[in-house]
Amino acid sequence: MTIAPQTDSVEAPGEVETYRKPIPVPDEATRPFFEGAKRHELMLQRCTVCGMTMWPVKPRCIDCFSAELEWARASGRGTLYTFTLMHQLYDPGFADEIPYNVSVVELEEGVRFTTNVVDCPNAELRIGMPLEVTFEDITDEISLPKFKPAG
Ligand SMILES: [Zn+2]
C-alpha cells in the first residue's frame, strides 16, 4: 500500500467538501481489503491450514508459514487496546481535527488494527471499551474502516 500525494482532483463537481488527508492507494496485496471496505466489510487474511487471522497483509501465515491464505470477513467487533492523542500537525489535512486519536483496536479475531475511534469524544476513550467497525467513504473508490462505541 502506498499513500497518494494529496491533490485537488478528489473533489467531484458539486461536491461540498474535499477530503484533504492522505488517501491510501491499494496494491495487489491490499486490494481485497479495500474492496471489502468499499462494501463496508472488514476483510482480513486467514490461513486455510491453521486458521490464523493476520493483519497487516502477509505473503505467508505468520504461524505455520503456509501460503494458503484466504480473505474472510471479520466480525467488526473489538475492544480498545490502546490509543494516543495527536497534538502535533504532521499533515495539513488533519489541521481541523487536532487533537485526534490514533487507536489500536484488538479485534475478536485476535489481531490489532490501527485506526481512529469516531463518534466518541477523546475524553471518553477508555482502554477495553467495546467498539464496532464503521466505514468512512472518503472517495468514490476508497472507504476507510474506523471504530465507534458498540451498541
Ligand atoms: Zn497457518
Domains held by the chain: number: 1
Residue of 30, 100, 25 lying closest to 71 (CA atoms): 30
Ligand 1 centroid distance, CA of 68 (Å): 8
28 inside domain: yes
69 Cα–ligand 1 center, Å? 8
E strand or H helix at 115: strand 112-115
- For residue 121, report the distance from its CA to the centre of ligand 1, in Å: 39
Provide the 10 A C-beta neighbour count for residue 26.
17
For residue 131, the enclosing domain spans 22-149
Q: How far is the CA of 73 from the centre of ligand 1 (A)?
A: 17
CA of 77 to the centre of ligand 1 (A): 22
| Global pTM value | 0.87
Q: Kindly give the distance from the C-alpha atom of residue 53 to the centroid of ligand 1, in angstroms, as a whole number.
A: 8
How confident is the model over 80-91, as a mean pLDDT?
Answer: 96
pLDDT digits (tens, 9 = 90+) for 4-57: 655 544 545 555 568 999 999 999 999 999 999 999 999 999 999 999 999 999
Count CB-CB contacts under 10 A for residue 33. 22
Cell numbers found for residue 73: 470477513
In a domain, 29, yes or no: yes
Helix, strand or coil, per DSSP, at residue 141: coil
Distance from Cα 58 to the centre of ligand 1, integer Å: 11
The percent of residues in the chain predicted with pLDDT above 90, rounded, is 87
Those residues with Cβ within 8 angstroms of residue 5's Cβ, 6 or more apart along the chain or in another chain: none
- CA separation for the pair 27, 40 (Å, rounded): 19
Report the pLDDT value the prediction gives residue 13, as an integer from 0 to 100. Answer: 52
Give the other-Cβ count within 10 Å of 16's Cβ: 5
**Is the predicted pLDDT of residue 58 greater than 60, yes or no?**
yes
Domain for residue 16, yes or no?
A: no
In a domain, 1, yes or no: no
The answer to whether residue 3 sits within a structural domain is no
pLDDT of residue 90: 92
CA dihedral for 141, 107, 20, 18, sign (positive or negative): positive
Over residues 143-150, mean pLDDT: 98
Assigned domain for 114 exists: yes
Q: Is residue 4 part of a domain?
A: no
Grid coordinates representing 96 are 481541523
What is the average pLDDT value for the chain, to the nearest integer?
Answer: 92
- Residue 2: per-residue pLDDT: 63
Residue type, 85: L
Residue 150 predicted with pLDDT over 70: yes
- Is 12 inside any structural domain? no
CA of 72 from ligand 1 middle (Å) equals: 14
Q: How do residues 102-118 score in pLDDT, each as one tens digit?
A: 999 999 999 999 999 99
